[in-house]
C-alpha cells in the first residue's frame, strides 16, 4: 500500500466516524488532530483500532504518542515503520 493510501483511508475514517461528515478548516495531512480539536482521547482509541484492523499493525502502549498519531502524515509514517519492522 502506498503511503497516500494510508492517509486517505485514515482521513475517510475520521471524516465518517469521528467528524460525522463535518468539514474542519485546516484538516491537512500535516495538521495536528489535537490542535484542530478533531480527536479526543476516546476518538484516538477508535482511530488506533481502525489502524490495527485496516493495516494489520499492532499499536503498542509505547507507540501511543503524538509523534505517531497526531496527524495523517504521522500515522502514515508510523504504519510504514511498523510494516517494515513486521509488526
Residue 2 scores a pLDDT above 50: no
- CATH value at residue 66: 1.10.1200.10
Summarised one tens digit per residue, pLDDT across range 4-13 is 599 999 999 9
Q: Give the pLDDT score at 87.
A: 55
Summarised one tens digit per residue, pLDDT across range 50-72 is 999 999 999 999 999 999 999 99
Residue 80: domain span: 3-85
Q: Report how many domains make up the chain.
A: 1
- What ranges in 1-87 are assigned the alpha helix state H? 3-13, 33-36, 41-55, 66-69, 72-85
Q: Compute the mean pLDDT over every residue in the chain, rounded to the nearest whole number.
A: 93
Percent of the chain with pLDDT over 90: 89
* pLDDT tier at 21, thresholds 50, 70, 90: confident
Amino acid at each position: 500500500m502506498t503511503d497516500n493510501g494510508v492517509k486517505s483511508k485514515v482521513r475517510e475514517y475520521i471524516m465518517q466516524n469521528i467528524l460525522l461528515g463535518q468539514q474542519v478548516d485546516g484538516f491537512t495531512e500535516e495538521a495536528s488532530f489535537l490542535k484542530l480539536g478533531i480527536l479526543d482521547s476516546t476518538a484516538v482509541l477508535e482511530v488506533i483500532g481502525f489502524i490495527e484492523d485496516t493495516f494489520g499493525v499492532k499499536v503498542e502502549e509505547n507507540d501511543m504518542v503524538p509523534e505517531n498519531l497526531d496527524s495523517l502524515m504521522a500515522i502514515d509514517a508510523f504504519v510504514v515503520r511498523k510494516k517494515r519492522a513486521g509488526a
